[in-house]
Amino acid sequence: MFSIQELTDFIVEAKSKTYVGNGAELPACRPGSRDIGHRRGVWSYLDSYFGGTDFAGQEAVWHEGNPRWAMNYFGRIVRPDLIDAERAGAVIKAALQTMYREKRHFLGRMEYQHAYGCYVDSSRGATDHFSGHEVIFVDGEEAYELEYRGGLIVP
């Protein structure tokens, strides 16, 4: 088996090497999906999502070929007059790089100032069961939002 800390460490590693690290896309596993993944030893990770400005996706982790953890998310640009997908992505990647490097965790409870806006992530729970909300404020106005939830998959 594995410990929650091992799982958390792998999730942080995988997230930092895929979306945040501009990892290479994989062939789509579902029609229209964009997929990106990471493997190390007995661990594998897949982030599969649809859309662009408004998007939905799921991340999953397998240990020894068995699904053990997943997270679902939906995000959207609330105010396209304040931020576009490219700038929102730049803010999110910078904030998450900082979170992964400094906190060695993937759940928020952080605020990050960027030239394009203020990123705020609030969450509750831990790796085994959690939910959260990330927002980018531009000039004090909510311009982007994302909801996420996930946890352990128990056979």
What is d(CA 6, CA 96) in angstroms, rounded to the nearest whole number? 20
Share of the chain above pLDDT 70, in %: 100
34-40 and 43-51 as β-strands: parallel, antiparallel, unpaired? antiparallel
* Residue 41 DSSP one-character state: T
Whether the pLDDT of residue 129 is over 90: the answer is yes
Per residue in 52-73, pLDDT (tens digit) is 999 999 999 999 999 999 999 9
Mean pLDDT for 84-93 is 96
Residue 114, domain extent: 4-152
What is d(CA 94, CA 101) in angstroms, rounded to the nearest whole number? 11
Please state the domain count of the chain.
1
Largest CA distance in the chain: 49
The answer to whether 115 touches 27, Cβ cutoff 8 Å, is no
Statement: the pTM of the whole predicted model exceeds 0.75: yes
pLDDT of residue 104: 86
Whether the pLDDT of residue 108 is over 80: the answer is no
Tracing tokens 């998007």 back to the chain, one arrives at 55
